[in-house]
Structures are given as structure tokens and as C-alpha cells.
């Protein structure tokens, strides 16, 4: 018997049951109450509750068949049958089912979609006994719609193990995937085993450019930007860092929640930020993470320049989560007052110490965001304006997303904070502002967030925890009036024991993306960058290990030797430093920096002759380097060649007349040549440039004593003593007793 004959046989049994049950299956058009009365009249209980999908769920035209699930309260039910009707016509009957769930095979599902597209279909579940085919024990029904609208775009997302503390220690277990709603196979893995943390991602409107957080060399501000191809390589040349914005400030940054402009020209991010970040050993909500300060900065991919966006750069506020309008003319962002804690601010760490986050953890302090909008104005910004309906409502509002036609905004709302909040819900409202409407797709009693519009504006994907600790991806339909439908679980995008999060639609074909490949780890440039980052964080030993690795990967890289030489110098490993700088000179004989660095190490080793030889070579390479004259003066001073030191310092000061150390050293050299008047003049200059240096007052006092200016010398000694120079008191007691 073929499947079609089998299906007609089952239909015959169902028709027999229909006769015995007297119109049980003929759904009464007068309503649900009469339907229930009919069940009661013929002793058939409506005990089946269909758990999924929910009533009036709308499925996209291109989705793979869903798994219907139900609960049957009736006793003695051994199997079930699914019957689907459009109007009064029975269009489909399933095989007998031994479990309270049903998933049509691909052929049957295409048949079901063919007769129900654009129509309301009624799905009936009937509970029966196989040994009593004439008896119906239970029944239940729902209505669904197969939309004429397709999704027509894949979904890029991340799959992460929990709790978060485990994921951080096992970064290779995280994967980035591409899901296709029409596929019966699990979503394909594009990227995995990335040994650094990767996070938020976004795409240009045409799906041709990707931007993604990648902590290159442990630099939390690193951001990967690339054209999307079938295989997209993550290479050093495609990575920039938000830390380069005003790096001279010495403030670190995470570069939070960055986003690429619709045309792919610009990127926006939160920088100069600070965050609450607490790992919580709880599988369901294993971290509390949200920014408490930060401004929004623009990066121009064409010019490689950074600047703060006016209107979102007020340091009195935390400004984060920038989102572009479809035309790129307006920016939405979340804003809150900066959190100040004088004790905590003594630390420069971008993560607030946990001790100062306790009031947020225990719920005694609120931190709420409002959504603001500001014109982009080609990067010139403008006046920030609160978005009516998503601000000043006593709640925290964040993650706004424009519909592709710019008509609607969907945003997330919770009692407090941002990111992973157990009470977060999705709201929709007109993009101009207004009264937000709680969306039907929200799964009750759990987190709903991380949403993205399909390129055609008909569907919204989001993450939710309704099925347990691990977030899963859901889909809802949104019509032209902003009405949404109950959520659809994207079953093939579920990854066992992984949280599916940060879903983003990509405006491309599923088969246009196959791999994203990391190509920077086994690279000497990467090791050098890691070394520099560790050095910036004060981890000199760690930096040294990274540079050892870089040199092993590329023994002819002069930059690695030079950097290692600098660290060895700072660690007091002078012989090793000399070897490193000598290697640089062998690889690059005209390296001014190597001669300079080697000379300074030799000065610290008191090899003044060797230092002068290196400095002479450095000056041949760059005769106008003021610091070489200063260093050579140091070496000559160490050899008691005070006149030679004075000559070099004269040249140094001609190039740099604001160098305090130069005047102080020249004054000391003149003192040693008994030029006390000249020494006093240099110490005067030094004090004018730095009036807080106690040692200079003491030196000037000694010069004045030699010049016979005793009253003025006493004043300098008292000033030196008051500024902390202890030896000054001995001189006062010895030479100015009683004064």
C-alpha cells in the first residue's frame, strides 16, 4: 500500500468515527460554545490542549514544517490523528501518532501550504484507541495561517554554552551560525574555535558588509569589518580598534554594541565606556552586564578617522546601543545618567569593581535607560531628543530597531538595566513616537530580546528563554498596521546545550555564506599586538611571552626584537635588552630607534663609552634629535666630562626649550665647573617650568651659598624642606643655626 492509499484508508476510518460521533468533526459555525456542547452531548471530552503553536499563529510561506505539540487529559488514549480543514473541507489527515506531537514530512507540509496559503486553516487533534476505532476519547483544535509572505533571508546568530563563566574559559565552544527557516537541517556553522571573545555583529542594508566585535590581541575595543564573501577571512588588515579614538587619554574602552551604517560607510559604537559586569553562577541568567558611562563615536571606513557624534557625546550621560534609521539619517540610542562613585573611580578599569556593583545586584539601586534620537547629519550630529513612548516611563528602554521601511520601531523594555534582563519584553510603536504596544509574540514570564527585522519588513526574529535556561530563536509576523502574531519557534536553529542569541537577518542568499575563517592567531603580528596590549595592561611578563612567540614565528621581525628589548629594559634585564637591540641593528642597520634604545641601556649599565658610540651613530641618522643630545650629555656627565655635557645640553635646549631635566642637568654640570651664576640661572628656569621639584630648590641653594647669596640660599633650603627634601634640614642646622 503506497502512502496515498494509506492516507485514504485512514481517512475512511476517520469518516467512520465522524458518523459515530455525529458531527464531532463538522465544526459548528455558531461558535466555540456550541462546539463544546456537541462534544458533551456525545460524551466526547475536549481534553486536548494544543501547546504549540498557539491560536492564530502565522507561519511564513517558506518555513519548514513545525512540530505541533499537545497535552491530552483524557484517560485511555493510545494514539492521535491530526486533521486539517480549510472552511468545511477536510484537506489533510495524518497517520496514527503514538506521541502527543506531530511534524509533517516535507512533502506533506508542502501539500498543506499549497491548500492553505493566505487562508485560515483549522488543525484538529483527535485522541482515539487503536483497539476501539469507533470511539473518540478526546479532541482539540486551533487555527493557523500560512502567510503569503516569505522570510527570504538567512539569520546569523551565536550559540553559547552556559553559564557565562564557563563560556569565557572555553571560548572554542562558541559558534557563529547561519540559519535558514526553510531548511530541515540544523543551521550551518560559519565560525567556531575562535580563541578570542567575539560578540555583537551587524550588517549593511545590502548584506555585503559585516561588522563584528573580535577581541584581537585581548584588545576589547577591536572590531572586524569586511566585505562578505562565500568565505570571509578575519585578517589583521580588516581589524580596527575603538581604542584608537583619543588613545592619548589613557582610557580603555570595550567598544560596546557597535553597528554598521546601512550604506556600509560608517560604524558607530559606545567608547570611553565603563560597565557593570558580574558573573553569576546561575544557568538561566548568568551575568549582569550593562554600561554606566560612555559616548558614541563615529568611525569612517573610507577615511579611517574617528570622532565623537555631537548630541551623543555628553560625558554627563551614558550613551549606548546606537542604531541607524534605514536611510542613515537618524540615530537612535539608549541614554541614562552616568553612575558616579568616587571610590570606584579611583580605579581605571573599564569594569566597575564588583564591590561597588552590589547595590545593583541586590536591587537597591535602579539604572534605567531612555531611548533618544539624534540626526546623523553626515557625522555632524545635532540636538538629542527623547523618543516619545520609549522614555520617561519609569522603565528601562533599550535595543530599538527600525523596520526596513522606517515606519515602525521595536524596542525592549525592562524594569532596569540593559541586555539580559529576565523581565524584558518587546514593544512596537510608530517610528515618530507614540504609545507603544506590547507585542503578542512575547513569551510570558521570561526574557524576550535581541531582535532583528527581515529585509522585507514582514518578520521579526528574537531570542527568548521560554523553553528553559538556554535562549532559543523565535519568529513573528508583522503586518502593515504593526500587528504581530504568536511566536514561532525556529526549531532547526536550536543547538543542544547552547544559548542562541544576537540573531541578525542578513540580506543575502543562504548559500552565499559558507565560512568565516580566523586568520590572525598564527601570525607574528598578532603576537606582537598581544604583547603590546599586555604591556598596556601592565603585564610585562605576559608581554614578554607573546614577543618570544612572535620571534619564533618570524625570526627576522625587527619590531618584535625592539619591543622585547624595551620590556627587558623595563624588567632590568639589561644584557638581554642589549642582545635584542643588537639583533635589530643586524636586521636593520639604519634603525635610529635601536641605537637610541641600546645607548640608554648602556647608560644604565654605566657603559658610557659604548653609549656615546651608539648616540653618535644615531645622530648621524637624525642630526636634529634633541633627545640624543640629552642622552649623550647624560653619558658625558657620567664620565665627569661636564663641559662636554654642557655643550650637548646647549644643543638639546635649542631644539627643546621646555625640557625641565635639561636645565636641571646643565645647572648641575655648571655647578661642577664652578659656574655658580650660570647654575643659578638654569635652576631658575627649571623651577619656573616645575615649581614643585624640591631637589631643584636644594641645588639652587647650594649654588647660591657658593656665590655668597646666603639669605636667598636659606629661603631655598626652607622651600626644599617644606616640599619634602629631607637633606635640606641638615644644611639649615649646619650652616644657618639659629636662623
Instruction: Give the domain CATH number at 98.
Output: 2.60.40.10
Domain boundary among 146, 164, 195: 146
pLDDT value at residue 168: 64
Tell me whether residue 593 is in a domain: yes
**pLDDT digit string, tens, across residues 492-522:** 998 888 888 889 999 999 999 999 887 765 5
Tell me whether residue 691 is in a domain: no
The structural domain count of the chain equals 3
**pLDDT digit string, tens, across residues 553-569:** 778 878 788 888 888 88
Q: How confident is the model at residue 706 (pLDDT cuts 50, 70, 90)?
A: very high
Are 512 and 527 part of one and the same domain?
no
Q: What mean pLDDT do residues 461-486 have?
A: 91
Residues 6+ apart with CB under 8 A from 300: 265, 266, 306, 379
Domain boundary among 146, 176, 196: 146
Q: What mean pLDDT do residues 451-477 have?
A: 91
pLDDT of 40 higher than 50 = no
Query: Are β-strands 132-146 and 57-59 bridged in parallel, bridged antiparallel, or unpaired?
Result: parallel
Domain residues for the domain of 566 are 522-623
User: Does a cis peptide bond (omega within 30 degrees of 0) precede residue 699?
Assistant: no
Are 162 and 59 part of one and the same domain?
no
Distance CA 734, CA 739 (A): 11
Q: Look over the chain and give the mean of its residue pLDDT values, rounded to a whole number.
A: 84
Are 269 and 285 part of one and the same domain?
yes
Are 185 and 308 part of one and the same domain?
yes
Are 478 and 534 part of one and the same domain?
no
pLDDT value at residue 534: 57
Q: Which of 212-226, 447-461, 494-508, 657-671 has the lowest mean pLDDT?
A: 212-226
Distance CA 683, CA 664 (A): 6
Q: What mean pLDDT do residues 116-128 have?
A: 90
The answer for 255, left when phi > 0, alpha when psi is -120 to 50, beta otherwise, is left
Q: What mean pLDDT do residues 356-366 have?
A: 73
Are 281 and 425 part of one and the same domain?
yes
Are 159 and 71 part of one and the same domain?
no
Residues 6+ apart with CB under 8 A from 84: 90, 91, 92, 93, 112, 116, 121, 122, 123, 124
Are 267 and 408 part of one and the same domain?
yes
pLDDT of 643 higher than 90 = yes
Residues 6+ apart with CB under 8 A from 688: none
pLDDT value at residue 284: 59
The CATH number of residue 254's host domain is 2.120.10.30
Percent of the chain with pLDDT over 90: 50
CB 372 within 8 A of CB 391: yes
Tell me whether residue 437 is in a domain: yes
pLDDT value at residue 167: 64
pLDDT of 454 higher than 50 = yes
pLDDT value at residue 19: 41
Tell me whether residue 676 is in a domain: no
**pLDDT digit string, tens, across residues 136-177:** 778 889 999 999 999 999 999 998 877 666 766 776 678 889
The CATH number of residue 564's host domain is 1.25.40.10
Are 534 and 511 part of one and the same domain?
no
Range among 28-42, 161-175, 276-290, 716-730 rated most confident: 716-730
Q: Could you tell me which residue, 202 or 12, shows the higher pLDDT?
A: 202
Tell me whether residue 200 is in a domain: yes
Tell me whether residue 176 is in a domain: yes
pLDDT of 665 higher than 60 = yes
pLDDT value at residue 31: 29
Are 505 and 618 part of one and the same domain?
no
Q: How many CB atoms neighbour CB 445 within 10 A?
A: 9
Are 264 and 187 part of one and the same domain?
yes
Name the 3-class secondary structure at 129: strand
Tell me whether residue 57 is in a domain: yes
Domain boundary among 492, 518, 544: 518
pLDDT of 479 higher than 90 = yes
Q: What mean pLDDT do residues 229-239 have?
A: 87
Q: What mean pLDDT do residues 583-609 have?
A: 91
pLDDT value at residue 42: 32
Q: Could you tell me which residue, 354 or 51, shows the higher pLDDT?
A: 51
Tell me whether residue 727 is in a domain: no
Are 511 and 538 part of one and the same domain?
no
CB 13 within 8 A of CB 90: no
Query: Are β-strands 48-52 and 499-505 bridged in parallel, bridged antiparallel, or unpaired?
Result: unpaired
Amino acid at each position: 500500500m503506497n502512502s496515498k492509499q494509506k492516507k485514504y484508508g485512514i481517512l475512511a476510518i476517520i469518516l467512520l468515527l465522524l458518523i459515530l460521533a455525529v458531527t464531532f468533526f463538522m465544526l459548528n459555525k455558531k461558535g466555540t460554545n456550541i462546539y463544546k456542547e456537541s462534544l458533551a452531548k456525545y460524551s466526547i471530552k475536549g481534553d486536548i490542549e494544543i501547546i504549540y503553536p498557539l491560536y492564530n499563529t502565522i507561519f511564513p510561506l517558506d518555513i519548514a514544517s513545525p512540530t505541533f505539540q499537545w497535552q491530552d487529559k483524557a484517560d485511555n488514549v493510545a494514539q492521535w490523528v491530526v486533521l486539517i480543514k480549510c472552511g468545511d473541507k477536510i484537506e489533510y489527515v495524518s497517520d496514527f501518532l503514538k506521541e502527543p506531537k506531530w511534524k509533517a514530512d516535507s512533502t506533506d507540509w508542502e501539500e498543506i501550504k499549497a491548500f492553505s496559503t493566505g487562508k485560515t486553516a483549522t488543525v484538529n487533534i483527535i485522541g482515539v484507541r487503536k483497539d476501539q476505532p469507533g470511539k473518540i476519547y478526546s479532541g482539540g483544535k486551533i487555527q493557523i495561517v500560512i502567510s503569503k509572505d516569505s522570510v527570504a533571508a538567512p539569520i546569523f546568530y551565536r550559540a553559547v554554552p552556559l553559564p557565562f563563566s564557563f563560556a569565557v574559559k572555553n571560548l572554542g565552544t562558541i559558534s557563529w551560525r547561519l540559519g535558514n527557516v526553510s531548511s530541515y537541517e540544523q543551521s550551518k556553522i560559519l565560525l567556531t574555535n575562535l580563541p578570542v571573545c567575539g560578540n555583537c555583529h551587524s550588517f549593511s542594508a545590502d548584506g555585503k558588509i559585516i561588522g563584528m566585535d573580535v577581541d584581537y590581541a585581548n584588545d576589547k575595543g577591536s572590531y572586524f569589518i569586511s566585505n562578505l564573501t562565500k568565505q570571509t577571512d578575519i585578517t589583521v588588515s580588516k581589524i580596527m580598534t575603538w581604542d584608537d579614538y583619543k588613545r592619548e587619554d589613557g582610557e580603555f574602552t570595550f567598544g560596546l554594541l557597535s553597528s554598521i551604517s546601512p550604506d556600509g560607510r560608517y560604524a558607530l559604537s559606545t567608547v570611553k565606556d565603563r560597565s557593570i559586569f558580574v558573573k553569576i553562577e546561575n544557568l538561566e541568567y548568568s551575568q549582569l552586564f550593562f554600561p554606566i558611562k560612555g559616548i558614541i563615536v563615529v568611525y569612517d571606513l573610507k577615511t579611517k578617522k574617528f570622532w565623537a557624534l555631537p548630541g551623543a557625546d555628553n560625558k554627563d550621560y551614558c550613551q549606548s546601543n546606537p542604531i541607524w534609521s534605514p536611510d542613515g539619517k537618524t540615530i537612535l540610542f539608549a541614554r541614562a545618567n552616568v553612575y558616579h562613585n568616587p571610590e570606584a573611580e579611583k580605579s581605571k578599569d573599564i569594569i566597575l569593581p564588583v564591590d561597588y556593583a552590589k547595590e545593583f545586584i541586590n536591587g537597591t539601586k535602579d539604572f534605567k535607560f531612555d531611548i533618544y534620537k539624534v540626526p546623523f547629519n553626515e557625522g555632524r550630529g545635532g540636538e538629542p531628543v527623547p523618543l516619545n513612548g520609549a522614555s520617561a516611563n519609569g522603565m528601562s528602554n533599550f535595543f530599538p530597531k527600525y523596520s526596513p521601511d522606517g515606519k515602525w520601531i521595536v524596542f525592549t523594555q525592562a524594569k532596569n538595566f540593559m541586555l539580559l534582563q529576565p523581565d524584558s519584553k518587546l514593544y512596537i510603536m510608530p517610528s515618530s513616537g507614540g504609545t507603544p504596544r506590547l507585542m503578542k509574540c512575547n513569551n510570558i514570564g521570561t526574557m524576550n530580546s535581541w531582535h532583528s527585522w527581515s529585509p522585507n519588513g514582514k518578520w521579526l526574529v528574537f531570542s527568548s528563554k521560554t523553553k528553559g535556561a538556554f535562549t532559543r530563536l523565535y519568529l513573528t509576523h508583522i503586518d502593515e498596521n504593526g500587528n504581530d502574531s504568536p511566536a514561532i519557534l525556529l526549531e532547526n536553529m536550536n543547538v543542544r546545550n547552547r544559548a542562541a542569541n544576537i540573531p541578525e537577518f542578513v540580506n543575502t542568499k543562504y548559500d552565499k555564506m559558507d565560512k568565516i575563517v580566523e586568520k590572525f592567531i598564527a601570525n607574528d603580528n598578532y603576537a606582537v599586538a598581544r604583547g603590546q596590549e599586555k604591556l598596556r595592561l601592565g603585564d610585562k611578563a605576559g608581554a614578554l611571552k607573546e614577543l618570544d612567540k612572535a620571534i619564533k614565528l618570524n625570526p627576522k621581525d625587527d619590531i618584535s626584537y625592539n619591543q622585547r628589548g624595551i620590556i627587558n629594559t623595563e624588567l632590568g634585564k639589561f644584557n638581554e635588552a642589549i642582545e635584542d637591540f643588537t639583533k635589530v641593528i643586524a636586521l636593520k642597520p639604519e634603525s635610529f630607534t635601536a641605537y637610541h634604545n641600546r645607548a640608554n641601556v648602556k647608560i644604565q649599565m654605566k657603559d658610557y663609552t659604548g653609549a656615546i658610540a651608539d648616540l653618535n651613530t644615531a645622530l648621524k641618522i637624525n642630526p636634529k634629535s634633541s633627545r640624543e643630545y640629552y642622552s649623550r650629555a647624560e653619558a658625558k656627565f657620567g664620565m665627569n666630562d661636564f663641559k662636554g655635557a654642557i655643550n650637548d645640553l646647549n644643543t638639546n635646549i635649542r631644539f627643546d626649550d621646555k625640557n625641565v631635566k635639561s636645565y636641571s642637568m646643565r645647572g648641575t654640570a655648571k655647578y661642577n665647573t664652578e659656574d655658580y651664576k650660570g647654575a643659578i640661572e638654569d635652576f631658575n628656569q627649571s623651577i619656573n617650568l616645575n615649581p614643585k621639584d624640591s631637589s631643584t630648590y636644594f641645588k639652587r641653594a647650594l649654588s647660591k651659598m657658593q656665590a655668597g647669596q646666603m639669605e636667598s640660599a636659606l629661603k631655598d633650603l626652607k622651600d626644599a624642606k617644606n616640599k619634602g627634601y629631607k637633606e635640606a634640614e641638615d644644611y639649615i642646622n649646619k650652616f644657618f643655626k639659629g636662623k
